[in-house]
Structure 1
């Protein structure tokens, strides 16, 4: 049975056309490494775009039945076969809506030399080995990040104000957790930046990423293999491009459409961000952790609100199911010419 047969079996209303069959034959030839008439084994690229018959048929009635080829590169002679990266048909409606509405908000246009000023609120797990043994609690801060338009994060400046902590579910709040509450500090955001190129989140880099979902999907999986762990890391990469970061609407729309195609992503309904705002969330379980990572969107505008980590396995996370052990809230983004001095 061919892919076309399976597609027709899943949705009988999808027509089998000569153009569709020919497209499948070309893709099969690409995956098999057949280079056709390309002289000297030259590199060829095959791309199936949304306006082809297959994508049109899937959009018409067979969502979740097939996959779109993002890119297939013919290997050099003697080289191992490449991973064929496919983009499953996007099916998570919340992310599709966020993509459709990405251009609704006023666009920021920072220039080289300027800084994006991002205000946020965060909550994370804190651990301390005190006289009474290991203690855990939830550490909370207000953050203002001055992120440079271009370059590594060592030029960024971070101002933090310590907020009252919250107790770890089922544990008393240790006295040490209250130290520093209300204090504000301004310092360099990082002493070094050892991220790989594809993990950069500065505006100059993000604004050059693909504006099509297939290309953005491939970017999310850069350096990754296949399987649940790769899907979970791609989901985490998405968060790195949303939290304390800003990109143009075109790239943001492509990012949401690509994220909607990551296998295992689901809609979990109502969720509350670190600022207490209620939205609708999309989520993916992180293998081996007992926690799912959720991204929260405004239910009316579909603006990105924040992220949270929710317990799904009590024994692994050492907290009751449903507990929120991490959360963020992106409050505002603006442009400034320079950061404040470091104290």
Structure 2
């Protein structure tokens, strides 16, 4: 989406879309909010502090759980932000080639990735529309792995179970739901300092909010480019690709899911791969994009038969101070999604749905 070369009508359309649609949530921690390993680190710190608390501190309020939404479909952005903070003092411009996007978008339909994404889009459009009430919760069960970079080297965690129950209230909310990870169940809270709470939006995509997004791929892509949070040093195209990735796999209205896949097909640099696996080793069809600035590849994995979303993976494509090329940064496997009436309660097996 090229602001300098776009026609006035396209620019006006983008502003009108952004004005009419609900604003995305404003997180204190930008895209690192989605990174599971950082949340686990903070919880370990909290636990250590609680275990070493003196009698004088035992009357303090109970520790506040860090927000934890879906694991790291956008892991490369946040993980590398942690590493970059300790290894470099200079950052590149966040424009990320976005000024050339409009010219490149015209050629994307010729790429193999576009053909695959259109097939995935068609499959998603045929899923049934759900009835989701504002007082219900979106349930997700996944297997995840993530790299902890706090030591200066990537230390990959074992495969772990991860469950979440995210409120479907439009908000703003201070308690967004529950998460169960490492055998521990905690509330998902709004960020510290977020006194107004978190409304439905990019940071907390409820089913009804997702249904409010444009279903025209060009308008949806314009909205995502306008609203995806910027991060220093990030390619803009990569940031939008990963933003779409953070919306995949959950409970998504069929028309919105179809439009998201078609919008992804228009992002420069998106490619396909036949050598991809999710966190539990399921092979599939891959939609991939390389962040050439950071040397990281992000992969989406789809079932080869029904095109359902299986999971994601990100890893280094070149040597870095914290790991060699090929080092895993994050991996997920989608196992179950459902709508439930109460947070913390697992759905019956027959109530579980497939992924978008």
TM-score range for the pair, normalised by the shorter chain length:
0.5 to 0.7
Hey, what does 1:156 align to over in structure 2? 177
Hey, what does 2:186 align to over in structure 1? 187
Hey, what does 2:132 align to over in structure 1? 110
Hey, what does 2:290 align to over in structure 1? 285
Q: Any conservation in 2 of the 1:70–1:218 contact (CA below 8 Å)?
A: no
Change (3 A) 1:103 1:153: farther
Q: Any conservation in 2 of the 1:71–1:85 contact (CA below 8 Å)?
A: no
Deviations 1:18-76 (A, max 9, x none): xxxxxxxxxxx983x5xxxxxxxxxxxx46xxxxxxxxxxxxxxxxxxxxx994669xx
Give the strand-richer structure, 1 or 2: 1
- Which protein, 1 or 2, shows the higher relative CO under an 8 Å CA cutoff with sep ≥ 6? 2
Q: Any conservation in 2 of the 1:201–1:240 contact (CA below 8 Å)?
A: no
Change (3 A) 1:316 1:230: farther
Which one of 238, 244, 265 corresponds to residue 244 of structure 2?
238
Which one of 109, 118, 134 corresponds to residue 96 of structure 1?
118
TM-score, scaled to structure 1: 0.62
Change (3 A) 1:252 1:317: farther
Q: Any conservation in 2 of the 1:71–1:84 contact (CA below 8 Å)?
A: no
Change (3 A) 1:145 1:84: same
Cα distance in 1 between the residues matched to 2:6 and 2:240: 25
Q: Quote the offset at 1:187 in angstroms.
A: 0.8
Hey, what does 2:224 align to over in structure 1? 220
Change (3 A) 1:230 1:139: same
Which one of 162, 180, 188 corresponds to residue 143 of structure 1?
162
Give the helix-richer structure, 1 or 2: 2
Q: Any conservation in 1 of the 2:153–2:322 contact (CA below 8 Å)?
A: no
Cα distance in 1 between the residues matched to 2:306 and 2:135: 31
Change (3 A) 1:229 1:207: same
Q: Secondary structure at the match of 1:102?
A: helix
Q: Does the alignment pair 1:340 with 2:338?
A: no
Q: Any conservation in 1 of the 2:147–2:154 contact (CA below 8 Å)?
A: no
Which one of 286, 309, 312 corresponds to residue 307 of structure 1?
312
Cα distance in 2 between the residues matched to 1:323 and 1:127: 12
Cα distance in 2 between the residues matched to 1:84 and 1:284: 17
Q: Quote the offset at 1:126 in angstroms.
A: 1.9
Q: Any conservation in 1 of the 2:235–2:293 contact (CA below 8 Å)?
A: no
RMSD: 3.3
Q: Any conservation in 2 of the 1:121–1:140 contact (CA below 8 Å)?
A: yes
Cα distance in 2 between the residues matched to 1:157 and 1:330: 18
Cα distance in 2 between the residues matched to 1:235 and 1:153: 28
Cα distance in 2 between the residues matched to 1:135 and 1:322: 11
Change (3 A) 1:228 1:112: closer
Q: Secondary structure at the match of 1:331?
A: strand
Q: Quote the offset at 1:293 in angstroms.
A: 0.6
Which one of 253, 256, 272 corresponds to residue 251 of structure 1?
256
Hey, what does 1:229 align to over in structure 2? 235
TM-score, scaled to structure 2: 0.60
Q: Secondary structure at the match of 1:155?
A: strand
Q: Any conservation in 1 of the 2:101–2:267 contact (CA below 8 Å)?
A: no
Aligned length in residues: 244
Q: Any conservation in 2 of the 1:70–1:85 contact (CA below 8 Å)?
A: no
Q: Secondary structure at the match of 1:217?
A: helix
Change (3 A) 1:258 1:308: same
Q: Any conservation in 2 of the 1:199–1:237 contact (CA below 8 Å)?
A: no
Hey, what does 1:266 align to over in structure 2? 271
Hey, what does 1:21 align to over in structure 2? none
Flag structure 2 segments of 5+ consecutive residues without an equivalent: 17-98, 346-356
Cα distance in 2 between the residues matched to 1:287 and 1:272: 22
Structure (1 or 2) with the larger CA radius of gyration: 1
